[in-house]
């Protein structure tokens, strides 16, 4: 009997309490975001109210947001850029990843290495000259500047991920197909690609998330209100001078966070398996 008690105590103090602390740390900001976006201004700024709860939920902040700001433009820009860039990077990543995982040709190893190195290059290292490159293409202050630049960090990521995935697929399947008369590309599209679906979905999804969240390039290349993406527009357009409209800011942050959170809750299983197999094999 005592031993059983001891075991339960050990489980509570050794597992549940610390885990609860971690969960609180991770989730409290989201709770606060949610709470703040459904409060009316008088309740939001009332220090005597029960601050960790909400008395009269209201959609005021959201109404203000849609009425007064270009949030629909920002959402559309984010969707457009993220969708297009993850599609482009996915396609080029599948091609490059397959080649580097399977084919032997002079320079293949060097390209693999280059992929890895470019994967590590932070965007803040080159954002200043990239701004002038983008300008010389006539793309500054347009979302196309993001469409062309985001693949520079997405392709290395997708390629690196997919090399690991393709390598985990047995070679003899496609060799059989090639003996039966399939071309190399045919074997890749018909045999290997279907088997690599989890890796492909994971890379595409993660690319979408990375584009959706990107900040430095979007901040540097785009200045007009209507061309901004969510991640940049909310902190730059909704803070006017010294005035912080916290209700609106939190409502907008919530709207900007929900799409990726949803995307990722639908594909949760792909996500965890992708993270746990692909990311660390390199």
231-260: which residues touch another protein (CB under 8 A)? Answer: 231-232, 234-235, 244, 246, 249-250, 252-253, 256-257, 260
In the three-class reduction of DSSP (H, G, I as helix; E, B as strand; rest coil), residue 48 is classed as coil
Q: Which of residues 65-84 bind another protein (CB under 8 A)?
A: none
Residue 29 binding another protein, by CB under 8 A:
yes
Among 167, 226, 261, 266, contact with another protein (rule: CB under 8 A): 261
4-15: string of b/e by CB count within 10 Å (b at 16+)?
eeeeeeeeeeee
Q: Please report where in the chains the tokens 């309740």 appear, as a residue.
A: 43
SS3 of 199-242: the string is: HHHHHHHHHHHHHHHCCHHHHHHCCCHHHCCHHHHHHHHCEECC
Query: How many residues line the site for another protein (CB under 8 A)?
Result: 91
Residue 220 binding another protein, by CB under 8 A:
yes
Among 48, 53, 56, 120, contact with another protein (rule: CB under 8 A): 120
* Residue 150 CB, nearest approach to another protein (Å): 10
Tell me the window of 55-63, 65-73, 164-172, 265-273 that interacts with another protein (CB under 8 A). 265-273
Question: What separation, in Å, do the N-terminal and C-terminal C-alpha atoms of the chain show?
Answer: 49
Cα–Cα distance for residue pair 60/58, rounded to 1 Å? 5
Among 93, 162, 164, 222, contact with another protein (rule: CB under 8 A): 93
Among 48, 67, 105, 179, contact with another protein (rule: CB under 8 A): 105
Residue 49 binding another protein, by CB under 8 A:
no
Cα–Cα distance for residue pair 205/262, rounded to 1 Å? 11
Q: Which of residues 135-154 bind another protein (CB under 8 A)?
A: 148-149, 151-152
């Amino acid at each position: 009997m005592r031993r059983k008690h001891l075991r339960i105590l050990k489980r509570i103090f050794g597992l549940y309490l610390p885990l609860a602390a971690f969960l609180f740390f991770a989730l409290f900001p989201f709770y606060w975001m949610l709470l703040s976006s459904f409060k009316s201004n008088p309740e939001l700024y009332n220090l005597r109210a029960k601050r960790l709860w909400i008395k009269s939920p209201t959609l005021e902040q959201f109404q203000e947001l849609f009425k007064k700001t270009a949030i629909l433009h920002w959402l559309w820009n984010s969707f457009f850029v993220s969708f297009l860039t993850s599609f482009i990077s996915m396609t080029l990543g599948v091609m490059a990843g397959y080649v580097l995982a399977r084919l032997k040709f002079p320079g293949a190893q060097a390209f693999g290495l280059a992929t890895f190195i470019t994967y590590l290059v932070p965007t803040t290292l080159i954002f200043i000259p990239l701004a002038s490159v983008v300008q010389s293409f006539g793309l500054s202050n347009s979302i196309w500047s993001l469409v062309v630049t985001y693949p520079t960090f997405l392709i290395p990521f997708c390629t690196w991920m997919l090399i690991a995935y393709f390598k985990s697929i047995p070679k003899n399947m496609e060799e059989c197909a090639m003996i039966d008369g399939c071309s190399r590309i045919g074997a890749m599209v018909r045999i290997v690609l279907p088997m690599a679906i989890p890796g492909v979905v994971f890379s595409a999804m993660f690319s979408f998330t990375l584009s959706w969240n990107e900040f430095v390039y979007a901040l540097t290349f785009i200045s007009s209100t209507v061309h901004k993406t969510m991640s940049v527009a909310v902190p730059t357009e909704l803070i006017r001078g010294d005035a912080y409209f916290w209700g609106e800011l939190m409502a907008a942050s919530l709207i900007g966070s929900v799409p990726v959170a949803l995307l990722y809750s639908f594909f949760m299983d792909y996500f965890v398996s992708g993270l746990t197999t692909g990311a660390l094999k390199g």
